[in-house]
Structure formats: C-alpha cells, structure tokens
Structure 1
Amino acid sequence: MLKFTFYGHSCFQLDDGAHKVLTDPFLTGNPKAAISADKVEADTILLSHAHGDHFGDAQAIAARTGADVVGVPEVLGLLDLPAAKLHGMNLGGSLVLPFGKVRMTLAQHSSGVAGGIACGYVIYIGGKVLYFAGDTALFSDMQLIGKKDALDYAMLPIGDNYTMGLEDAALAAKWLGVRHVIPIHYDTWPIIAQDVEKYKEVTESMTPAKVDIVRPGESIELA
C-alpha cells in the first residue's frame, strides 16, 4: 500500500514501504507544520519552486538524510549539496528514480529565483499515478495532463490569493479527470484561509472526483 502523510501547507510524504518521497518541505516557521525538519524522513525531495514556503528546509533535510533532490536547475543551484544528489529537470521531462518515475509539468506561478520556473510533478509510485500541482493558477493544459495519464490522486492548492481558489481548483479536478483530490496549500495563514468542506462539496457536485480531506499530521492509504 502507498501511504500519504500530510505535514502541512504543500509538504507531504509518500511512503511505498521501501521509499519515502517528500515534497516542498516548509516546516521551520510553518505554523501548521506537523513535524520538525530534524525528524522528517526522505529518500527523495521534490521541489516545485524556490519560494521560502516551498523550498523551506530542503537543504537541512537533504544534508541529514542523504536524500536526492529533484527540481529545475536554477532552484537546485541554491543548494549546497553533492552534485550526485541533485537531479535537474525541466518541463515535459521524465526521470526514473528508485521508487518509480516523475514527469515535470507546467505550473503557472512565479519561481522565487532568477531564471527559474515553477513546476508540478506527475509521480508514478506504488502502482499509483499522482499529480502534485505545486503552486499554480488554473490553466487549460491541465486537460492534457489528465489525458496523458489516468490520474489516481491530485494534490491541488486551494488557498486563493497566491494560487487557485476553491472554484478554480474544483474545475482543475474536472479537467484532470482525477479519481481523488487531496487539497493542500490552505489555512497556513489568514490570507489563504479556506473552507475546505465547501471545496469538497463544490468539487464532488461538479466532478466524479472524491475529495479526501487530510489534516496536518494525518495519514491515509491511497486506494
């Protein structure tokens, strides 16, 4: 089974029993963080962009755990880690990793580092196909992401202001054709406070997707 653990904001861990994949590890300074940077485990870290609330503790966690770090080259250039541990990618590229594979996807957002771009990932792990959108606005090519792969789960930001809000994230679920959505990137601060139950209601009324609300510190098995 594949376990999803939400650590708050856009940080979650995927655990297939042999590998632990961590996303956007903003833990230090995160008022909703469910674990500290010196306790979280990772074999691979996926970075969507270089804003502090996503790049976060990547350096410290990777140095402590020996995790490989995946991202666009400009973001990886901010890290002081052995070159063999850094795996640069760009949009549309795929990379085979010990747990499976990732494909880097477009995200409509600023990057946090000069010359860089924001991204998302399609993640192939534990027999599932997952879409981690990163920080993004709604964009029509989400339909292509869903057409290329039959997505089991999508982790979508719903916080508004900096990313999609409730309505756009519901439409994203429809365009992706995904079976399940896990909302992320909301309620960390008042400016991105959202009624996640309302998001569940709206999304499930307009799409076949089931919305799984996972609170910081909670884990679910991905079916």
Structure 2
Amino acid sequence: MKITYLGHASLSIETKDKTLLVDPFITGNELAKNIDIDKLQADYILITHAHQDHILDVEAIAKRTGAKIISNFEIVTYFGEKGIEGHPMNHGGKWHFDFGTIHYTNAIHSSSFPDGSYGGQPGGFVFETNHHRLYIAGDTALSYDMKLIPQVIGELDLAILPIGDNFTMGIDEAIKASAFLNCNKILGYHYDTFGYIKIDHKKAIEKFSKAKKELYLLPIGDNLKL
C-alpha cells in the first residue's frame, strides 16, 4: 500500500488493484500547486465532511475518472444530484468493498457545504485490507472514542491524524490520540495550509519522538509505503 500526501488533508492511497483519494482539496491550495488534478487517478473518493477545504476538487476528479464517492448519506446525496455515484455510510457501520473494508468512525467537528447547507455529521475511516489497517481521522478533536478503534477493529499499522490545531487537534492532543489508538506510527496532516494551522515541524517531530512515537511529515507529493 502506498500513501501519497497531496497537501492539507488530501491523500492518494494505492492498493494492489485500486486507488482511493481522500478529501481532494488541491487547486485551492497554493502549497500543492505542483499537483495536477487531471493526472490523479481514482477508483473511489473518501470524503470525511463537507467543508470546502475537503471537497473542492471532488466533482472534477469524479466526473473525469468515474470514481465512486464514499461518505455520509448527506454528502453522497449532494454529489448524487450532480450525477456522481456514491456509497452512503454512517457512524459505526462498515462495508466490504472490492478493495477492502471501510469502517466509518466518529469525528468531532462541524460539516457544511460552501453554500451553507447541511453536510451531515463529520466522520473518519478505518481502511482494512488483508495486509494493512489504517485510520484516517478526518478533522476532529481528541476523542475518547478513539480508544475503541483498536479494541473493536484491531491493531493499526498507521494513524493519519490532524495536527494543525485551531480547527482540529494540535500536536499534543494528537500524541494523546496515538496513545488511545495504541499506534506508534503517525502520518500528520491538516497543517501549514493556512496561517491558523502552521506548525513547527522540528518541534512536532521531537515531541512525538519523546513520547516514543514516530511522526511522518511528508513533503507534498511524497509517499509512504506500508
């Protein structure tokens, strides 16, 4: 499995047979100007919530690639009205897809479309294949519910956590989240894009290391292999 960081909270996850995009916000991110959305491949697009900095490029990519959306009922309905096929989920549910299993998890945040309409409740995902299990937290505060993930779903190979603070968890809370998740490998995301969420990379890595955790902060376009 290869995970490529596309900036902000956007990811490309490549399995043996399928490619999943997560929260594609690329054309509106100056830091990701070297990523060409017309070259991105996608069989599925996972959307954690409806804020513009998570859905901006969904329609363009889905209509070009034929990707199917996986998200909550409200988001799938919204894009369904634009002619894009989707699979609706809700918290606590799971579904076995042709690439693996997706569990839809809790997230503490808000969710509305750019026009202000209701975007359903925000969420995160645990993505399971026969060989790997990773948690994509979405935009969220620290939550005690995270303790349930390894207990109910199983041991994680990687947790992808927001670390930019202000709108989500910050670095200290993400360290606590990694302890709740019983996961020592963390990919940080949702940082640096805006002034409110800029972080000190060196200090963040040092703090995680002191807690005996490994924090990956990938340059945009770089990847991590599981």
* TM tier, smaller: over 0.9
Matched residues, number? 219
Once the two structures are overlaid, the 10-residue window that deviates more, 7-16 or 110-119, is: 110-119
Q: Match for residue 87 of structure 2?
A: 87
Following superposition, the deviation at residue 82 of structure 1 comes to 4.3
User: Out of 210, 217, 221, which is 1:213 matched to?
Assistant: 217
> 1:182 corresponds to which residue?
187
What is the match of residue 120 of structure 2? 116
Indicate the residue corresponding to 1:169 in structure 2: 174
CA contact (8 A) 1:10 1:23 kept: yes
Aligned twin of 1:201:
206
Code of the aligned partner of 1:3: K
Output the CA distance in 2 between the equivalents of 1:48 and 1:156: 13
TM-score, normalised with respect to structure 2 = 0.92
> Tell me, what secondary structure is at the counterpart of 2:78?
coil
Query: C-alpha displacement at 1:190, in angstroms?
Result: 1.3
Letter in 2 for 1:125: T
Q: Distance in 2 between matches of 1:165 and 1:107?
A: 15
Q: 2:51: which partner in 1?
A: 51
Question: What is the letter of the counterpart of residue 39 of structure 1?
Answer: K
**Do the aligned partners of residues 209 and 49 (structure 1) sit closer, same or farther apart at CA in structure 2, a change above 3 Å counting?**
same
Partner of 1:12: 11
- 2:62 is aligned to 62
> What residue ranges of structure 2 are gaps of 5+ in the alignment?
none
Distance 1:180 1:136 in 2: 18
TM-score (norm 1): 0.93
Which stretch shows the higher mean deviation, 189-198 or 99-108? 189-198
Per-residue CA deviations over 1:134-175 (Å, capped at 9, x if unaligned) read 000001111111222101101100011100011111111111
Offset at 1:115? 6.0
Pairs within 5 Å for 1:92-103: 92-103=92-103
Identify the range of structure 1 (12-21 vs 127-136) with the bigger mean alpha-carbon deviation.
Answer: 12-21
Partner of 1:153 in structure 2?
A: 158
In the aligned structure 2, how far is the partner of 1:199 from the partner of 1:146?
Answer: 24
Q: Cα deviation per residue 1:35-94 (whole Å; 9 max; x = unaligned)?
A: 1222211111100000000012111111110111000111122214546x2100000010
Cα separation, 2, equivalents of 1:18 and 1:30: 29
The Cα offsets for residues 85-135 of structure 1, whole Å up to 9 and x where unpaired, read as 210000001011111010000000001142610000000136110000000
Q: Which residue of 2 aligns with 1:25?
A: 24
Match of residue 136, structure 2, among 129, 132, 138: 132
Q: Give the residue type in structure 2 aligned to 1:121.
A: F
1:173–1:203 CA contact under 8 A, matched in 2: no
CA RMSD of aligned residues (A): 1.5
TM superposition shift of 1:205: 1.6
Task: Give the CA deviation at 1:202.
Answer: 1.3
Displacement over 4 Å in runs of 4+:
none
The answer on whether the counterparts of 2:185 and 2:215 sit within 8 Å (CA) in structure 1 is yes
- In the TM superposition, residue 176 of structure 1 has moved relative to its aligned partner by 0.6
What amino acid is the match of 2:65? T
**Counterpart contact for 2:50–2:119, Cα < 8 Å:** no
For structure 1, the residue ranges without an aligned partner over 5 or more in a row are none
Identity %: 39
